Structure 1
Amino acid sequence: MVKMARHGFSRLRLHACLAVALAGSVLPVLAQAEPPPAAPTPVIVWDVPAFNALPDDEQGRLARYGRSVIEATYAHIGPAVADPAARFAGNNLACANCHLQAGLKKFGLPLVAASADYPAYSSRSGAVSSLFDRVNQCLKRSMNGRPMAEDDRPMQAILAYLDVLATNIPPDATIVGAGAGAIPELDRAADPVRGAAIYAANCAECHRRDGLGVRRNEAQPDMGYAFPPLWGPDSFNDGAGTARLITLANFVHDNMPNGTSWVAPTLAPQDAWDVAAFVLSQPRPQLAGIDRDFPDLLLKPVDAAYPPFADSFPAEQHRYGPFAPIRAEIARLKQARGTIPNPNTP
């Protein structure tokens, strides 16, 4: 945008005599466009405060409690805790089953910048979401549960924990290691049949052949899992982010089998795509109302495999790919139409 006032020319009147005097000369540039703001320097080293060194005051205790809720969600708000009013999670997973090392592992869906990133626009809801809203979306989808109120102590604790993680992260900063990574996509559909053999060889020892994981104590569900289920009634539902192939394949590649690092992955990218396809081909809880997600269908992720879709590709291709043809059609539709309203969104 041209900022004339910055140079003192906002009320300049060029009289005829001045125009004559300057005729034939080279006029100076009276105003210049503001240069685009410099992109923030990516944060490579995450300067996270030591939680055990936080003050022994209300905020310090609340943040440490929040860390415990992230690491052992099932024990605090799971479906088997003693107080029925505290049963916000609908399964016995922990937030740390997806946000590895309590949100501190690079490309393990880290949480270190979450507090700095919100509020933010959510294409899934079509509105600006607070961090409180985002946590409740995780409860609803990944934990297959119900929302907490903002003044519920576990919610306050989670938010306090996330605030401490982001203490030294500038707002809207780009952190190196965010998300789950970005392995090359396949030019074919991911193959769940091929993925079954990869699962048997690399995943079944921990998550079991039936995908139902290993409980710490079969008689006490509120003790959670030593190895979480990947499908079945106590797993994440079909509205979760990890129920989308791109997220899950990258997560698997950079973190699995357990102990793997993105620096030295165990699985080849094509194996990660196929084993993720196998996991997502298995039954899991169904979230009611997900057909109302994404009020603008052109902003729906290409691997969100539940209708309605803006494009003409079948749900099977949205589930397993290849995704390049879908992206190309979405780009054409954006250029031609701008938006495509979701008919199911109120």
Structure 2
Amino acid sequence: MESIRRRKPSLKPIETKGKATEAAEEEPLSPSARLFHEPNFNVHVIGIMGLKSRITPQVVKEHLPHTLLKHPRFSSLQDTNTPFKGCPGSEFNPRRVVYGTVSLDDMKLVKNALNMTVTDVALGVTQAGLSIYLNRRYGEGKKDKGATEKNNNLPKNIRLRSTILMNLRPSVGIQALADMMDENTEAKWGNCVGYVLLPFKIALRDDPLDYLREAKATIDRKKNSLEAIYTFSTSELALKLFGIKASSSISHRIITNTTMCFSCLPGPQEEIGFYGHPLAYIAPGSYGQPHALMINCQSYINKMTIVLSVDESVIPDPHQLADDFEQSLKLIKDAVVERGLCHE
């Protein structure tokens, strides 16, 4: 009997009725299915089939499109070819790195008003900025009537997934080099990073706070899972068992099936210096990843720097995208203040 490998599918977030902050699907989930997808009760049903004969791939391929692939809840979707999606080999193209600085105090104001984290706010701002930018790109040649739900140029059901890096160190933040080299410290030297695959909801919202609510609902599911730990452990295991080439090939294949990469890192809360030279900001970026877009958010004292690393053949106007992120934060902050959710 041929054995069947068991793989945990990468599930897209299930949107259900019953919450004011979530949109309804074409076919609402049953009460028990909605229960299974609550953040504190996130259950996946795994089916294992044992076959008495070898699988005939051609027969399976012929029947799948007429059965399982037509099911309204089937979630193995290739998450759309948008203006952000890089072509194969994008990692070898020239890069442009741009950055914009926003107020960390503004992000904390929103965070405290809505009982979120800074990362939640950063994700919401990113989701809003990406939606506004793509709406403009899809509407090229049309008269700009504003980015509202009514004046929407976006195609329906855009699927955009991001690889989000997560720090798995016991001690977060930037540590002193001498402390990291100490044998007895928790802040060990070397990388300890896992990642999760996070779908971004690309849509225009008349209420700017909806961007935050949607982003938080999605990231909370990921935080309550062990996905980051699994990806880190699997990478280490593959490296030990198969070597660096096989391990890097596996990671590269996973990443190329996503559209972009995102990270949000806390920085020093007090001014630091480089050999007596005080720093004004920290703007980390990267080069060589198989994405046309990478977004790094880095805090430093009372500032948040948003750094974009882009393939200019795909995103020719990165400064406009950075401006969209800044404008999105302003819209969200203004909505919080106008509704009296907090005090400046």
The TM tier, using the shorter chain, reads under 0.3
Q: Which has the higher contact order (CA 8 A, sep 6+)?
A: 2
Q: Normalising by structure 2, report the TM-score.
A: 0.24
Give the number of the structure whose alpha-carbon radius of gyration is greater: 1
Higher strand share goes to which structure?
A: 2
The normalised TM-score by structure 1 is 0.24
